[in-house]
Amino acid sequence: MSSPEGFLTEEQRALLRSMSFGNNSGSELTSPRSLVSDPPNKHGKNGSTANGKQDKRSHSGKLCRPKKGGAGGRGTWGSVLETGGEARVDRNDPNYDSEEEPYKLVTIPAAQSIQEYKNKVGQIVEEFFLTDNVAEAAADLRDLGSPMYHHYFVKKLISMSLDRHDREKEMAAVLLSSLYADVISSEQVLKGFARLVESADDLVIDIPDALDILALFTARAIVDDILPPSFLNSITKSLPEGAKGCEVIHLAEKRYLSPPLHAEIVERRWGGSTHTTVELVRSKISALLNEYIESGDKVEACRCIRELNVPFFHHEVVKRALILAMEKRNSEAQIFLLLNEAADEGLITSSQMSKGFTRLADAIDDLSLDILHAKELLSHLVSRAIKDGFLGAAYTIPVPPVKPKENGDEPVAPGLDQVAIFKQKAVAVIQEYFLSDDVGEVVRSLEDLSSPHLNAVFVKRVVTLAMDRKNREKEMASVLLSSLYAEAISVEDVAKAFLLLLGTADDTALDIPDAANELALFLARAVVDDILAPLDLEEIREQLKPDSLGSEIVNTARALLGARHAGERILRCWGGGSGWAVEDAKDKIVKLLEEFEAGGDVSEACRCIRDLDMPFFHHEVVKKALVMAMEKQNDNLLNLLQESSNEGLITLNQMLKGFSRVADSMDDLALDIPDAKDKFTRYVEKAKSQGWLMSTFTMGSKPQLLSSHDYVNGSS
């Protein structure tokens, strides 16, 4: 039973004690009511007790009973473990528990929920569909953080584009390809597509053709190398039987990834890339710089540069601006104001700025032909840029390495090492081609280099750079060689290049383990594309050491060519792609010539040739027309060639290439057409007399190939 002391005031307790000890003097018995409640007027005006102590009753209205457990209250012993002081934790105590340490709770903001992340991601996607600004979308996604949730972004981006136009679908595919690896990891992309395929059952309810669109997105991701092909098998195993996702994978595999030309079909399914070509960007840069020179509006010029949306290509802005300053001396101050403004705003980064100056320095020899004192002007521009602060003070104009003369007595002046300069420029041209896929630009760049005697070095560089890259670049390299063969390089250049490659195959294999197999495929592909003749392989092998790796590679290439359906297999050795465009063009050429030979119209045949839109490949028209004229004894095909030449449709250079290719394959043609040489001689004389074949053309024997040690400076 609890003590009544908890209900008494100090005065009442004193009275109780006096009664308990028999001290009744000066005391009165109070009524039981007074023991319980103490009216306020009993303590005087100020509400204090007679002895001046404060009233200990609770002001909260709660009863102040002592704690249970015998640890409190007057006249008690206290708790069993109470020591009289504050207990301290001894870390050396065997029973020490870190949870007994004093701690302080810190309030922190709650982590962002997945729903909030999804909402913000939706805003980023909506804004991207409006602006088509890849860089801004990437920056927004980085600022959002939470990289472990990026698979939601992948799923959200594609699902939001499903019921939109083809433009948005293409934009979504391009954005994923741009963000891959740089912003979104491969694991998150894989997880995002997996979630997307798993949700196919729900998506098809709202979007009837969702399965086909999802299949196309999946195929596009595989073509763009952001999804591995093994994804198709792995996701199929994880899906339950009868799920709509299985149908998505089946459509992607059978409808979009199996047919010939599948890569080109998939990439153009939504109208092609939304990216502008390199040539178009260059023309826009030139236009905005010229407009700036006329108006002097820096803000507008910076806005135009920003709207180009090619931050990785700003070095071209710098280069063209500097060339403009060199050409128009009175515009130098204006140009430097623009570059300074762009650097201050962070529009053009320091790396892009220095790269622009370096590219100008690389082209200074060519510029010297058109601009007087170009080298002196370059030094002046560099000094001024460093002084103005938008070019690093450590920047120096790159100087070609000094090459000693053959006798070792004197060094050759810098700038005369044309081979080293050519190699540097060739690498830049090839790397840009791998980004732009612009064959025409490579042809123009090779012509600008004006070093036809070094074309074999260029071909070797193309193959070498492609070998260390993906199948896409290998396919592009083969297509480039086929295109250049007609326009800028000869069969001798290609043969010399392969001779150099095979001569150094042992060293190449140290860096690229599969080099032997890839070189064999490149060599076989050159034969399939009619760049090299089968006889060329034998001539190349004879100039190599019998037991060398290069000789084995040639034998492997010949074995590949001797297999059944070799042409089709070799054309698809790197996944088809652009190479099929060349094969398709050959088929179209044969069909249009057959139609013309059967009684077609000359103007209609010329229109079909023009519709091919492959001017660098017109030599194939000439070759196949001459061969068909021999086989079917129909000289009317020569009239088609004459008309094409008169219209300027087939250039004299392309005509010469076509006749040369027929002359190169004359030994093989003679096996099927006994009088092939006589007919071809008559065709040549007729073409020369009518003026659509150069009079310098002769049917002489093909020159012998140079061995690798005879080709100076071509070893690398």
510-565 pLDDT tens trace: 777 788 888 999 998 888 888 888 888 888 888 888 888 888 899 998 888 888 77
- Over 70: is that where the pLDDT of 11 sits? yes
Higher pLDDT, 708 or 188: 188
Task: Please give the full DSSP string across 471-494, using - where no structure is assigned.
Answer: HHHHHHHHHHHHHHHHHT--HHHH
Angstrom distance (rounded) from CA 342 to CA 84:
74
Share of the chain above pLDDT 70, in %: 78
Bridge partner list, 244 = none
Q: 89 CB contacts (<8 Å, ≥6 apart)?
A: 96, 100, 101, 102
* Three-point CA angle 41, 43, 44, nearest 5°: 70
Q: 501 CB contacts (<8 Å, ≥6 apart)?
A: 460, 463, 464, 508, 519, 550
C-alpha 126: how far from chain center: 23
Q: 635 CB contacts (<8 Å, ≥6 apart)?
A: 629
Q: Write down the pLDDT at residue 322.
A: 92
3-state secondary structure of 184: strand
Q: Report the mean per-residue pLDDT for the chain.
A: 76
C-alpha 254: how far from chain center: 27
CA distances from residue 112 to 108, 120, 148, 183, 191 in whole angstroms, order as listed: 12, 11, 13, 20, 21
Q: Compute how many other C-beta atoms are within 10 angstroms of the C-beta atom of residue 526.
A: 27
- Over 60: is that where the pLDDT of 160 sits? yes
Angstrom distance (rounded) from CA 339 to CA 318:
7
94: left (phi over 0), alpha (psi -120 to 50) or beta: alpha
Reported confidence tier of residue 137, pLDDT bands at 50, 70, 90: confident
Q: What is the 3-state composition of the chain as percent helix, strand, coil, each rounded to the nearest 5? A: 65, 0, 35
Angstrom distance (rounded) from CA 57 to CA 478:
99
Reported confidence tier of residue 700, pLDDT bands at 50, 70, 90: low
- Over 50: is that where the pLDDT of 250 sits? yes
Model pTM score:
0.34
Angstrom distance (rounded) from CA 532 to CA 523:
8
Structure tokens at 474: 């290998």
Q: Write down the pLDDT at residue 699.
A: 66
**Do 130 and 168 form a contact (C-beta atoms < 8 A)?**
no
Domains and CATH numbers, the chain: 1-64 (no CATH), 115-267 (1.25.40.180), 278-388 (1.25.40.180), 432-571 (1.25.40.180), 589-690 (1.25.40.180)
3-state secondary structure of 404: strand
Angstrom distance (rounded) from CA 348 to CA 34:
91
446-492 pLDDT tens trace: 888 878 888 888 999 999 888 888 888 888 888 888 888 766 788 88
413-428 pLDDT tens trace: 444 456 778 888 888 8
Give the residue-averaged pLDDT of 401-408. Answer: 41
Angstrom distance (rounded) from CA 528 to CA 531:
8
- Over 50: is that where the pLDDT of 702 sits? no
Give the residue-averaged pLDDT of 379-391. Answer: 89
Structure tokens at 615: 């001017």
Q: Compute how many other C-beta atoms are within 10 angstroms of the C-beta atom of residue 143.
A: 9
Q: Is 315 exposed, middle or buried (0-12, 13-18, 19+ CB in 10 A)?
A: buried
Alpha carbon distance, N-terminus to C-terminus of the chain? 105
* Position 565, amino acid: H
CA distances from residue 186 to 80, 148, 157, 190, 368 in whole angstroms, order as listed: 64, 12, 16, 6, 47
State the greatest distance between any 2 C-alpha atoms of the chain, in Å, as a whole number: 159
Reported confidence tier of residue 335, pLDDT bands at 50, 70, 90: very high
Backbone angles phi, psi at 545, to 5 degrees: -65, 140
Reported confidence tier of residue 711, pLDDT bands at 50, 70, 90: very low
Q: Is 114 exposed, middle or buried (0-12, 13-18, 19+ CB in 10 A)?
A: exposed
Is the Cα torsion angle 599, 675, 684, 527 positive or negative in sign? positive
**For residue 162, which of 114, 115, 129, 124 has the smallest C-alpha distance?**
129
- Over 80: is that where the pLDDT of 710 sits? no
* Position 161, amino acid: S
Q: 140 CB contacts (<8 Å, ≥6 apart)?
A: 124, 127
Q: What's the 3-state SS for 78-99?
A: CCCCCCCCCCCCCCCCCCCCHH
3-state secondary structure of 371: coil
For residue 684, the surrounding DSSP H or E stretch is helix 676-690
Task: Please give the full DSSP string across 100-117, using - where no structure is assigned.
Answer: GS-------PPPPPHHHH
Higher pLDDT, 622 or 546: 622
